[in-house]
Chain A
Amino acid sequence: ETGVTQTPRHLVMGMTNKKSLKCEQHLGHNAMYWYKQSAKKPLELMFVYNFKEQTENNSVPSRFSPECPNSSHLFLHLHTLQPEDSALYLCASSPGSSGTETGELFFGEGSRLTVL
C-alpha cells in the first residue's frame, strides 16, 4: 500500500472510446503528477498540479485531458487515443509544491492502458 491509489489497474479501449483514469492520494500532499511509462523509454512527465492548479503541461497532446478537483484527486480523461498511447500511466504525489525539496515522489501502482 503506497498511499496513492490508481484505478483502473488495466484498461483496454478502442480509438473512438472515451475513458478516464483516476488517482487518489491519502497522504495530505500538495502536488500531484501524471507520468507515462512506455516500454524501453524513461518515465515521461505529462502534467503537474500544485494546490489544484496545473503548473506543468509537458507538451502533451490534447487527447489527454487532466482534471484536479482537489488536492487529493487527479483524473486523466482520454479520448480518441492512438495505439502508440498504450503504456503504463503512473500517478504520483509529493509533500511540497513541486517535490524538489527532497526529490521524493510517492507513486501509485499505475494504470496499464491498451489502445486497440
Chain B
Amino acid sequence: GQSLEQPSEVTAVEGAIVQINCTYQTSGFYGLSWYQQHDGGAPTFLSYNALDGLEETGRFSSFLSRSDSYGYLLLQELQMKDSASYFCVKSSASKIIFGSGTRLSIRP
C-alpha cells in the first residue's frame, strides 16, 4: 500500500509562496527527500531531511518533524519554471519509496 500521502494538485500565483505537505508511515524510516520532475524529464533531487527542522536551499526549503511523521516542501518567490510535479520520498533501510506526487501549477 501507499506509505506516503501528499496532495495530488496545488495551484499558486507567480511570486507567491506555496507549501506541499507530506505524511508518511514511520516503519523503518531514515529520512525524507523531495524531488522535482518536469513533464518529459527525469526526477531531480531537491533536498533531504534526516533530522527534525528546516533545511534551506535558495528559494526552496524542506521541513521534517519525525514525531509527527510529517514534512513539507516550501517554495518561495514562485517562478513559472517551478511548474512541475514534486515528490516526497521516504528512505528506509533498504528502499527508497516515492509518493504519488503533487502537480504544481503556477498562474501569472
Chain A residues with a Cβ under 8 A of chain B = 2, 4, 33, 35, 41-43, 45, 48, 55-56, 90, 98-100, 102-110
Contacts and interface: CB of A to CB of B under 8 A. Distances in A.
Given A4-B42, A48-B95, A107-B42, 11 more contacts: A42-B2, A43-B87, A99-B96, A100-B30, A100-B92, A100-B93, A103-B30, A103-B50, A103-B96, A105-B35, A105-B43
A98 B92 CA distance: 9
A58 to B, nearest CB: 8
A47 B41 CA distance: 21
A104 B92 CA distance: 13
A105 B101 contact: no
A19 B35 CA distance: 30
Nearest to A107: B42
Interface of B: 2, 4, 30-33, 35, 41-45, 48, 50, 87, 89, 91-101
A105 B98 CA distance: 11
B94 A56 contact: yes
Contacts of B30: 100, 103
B32 A103 contact: yes
A101 B1 CA distance: 24
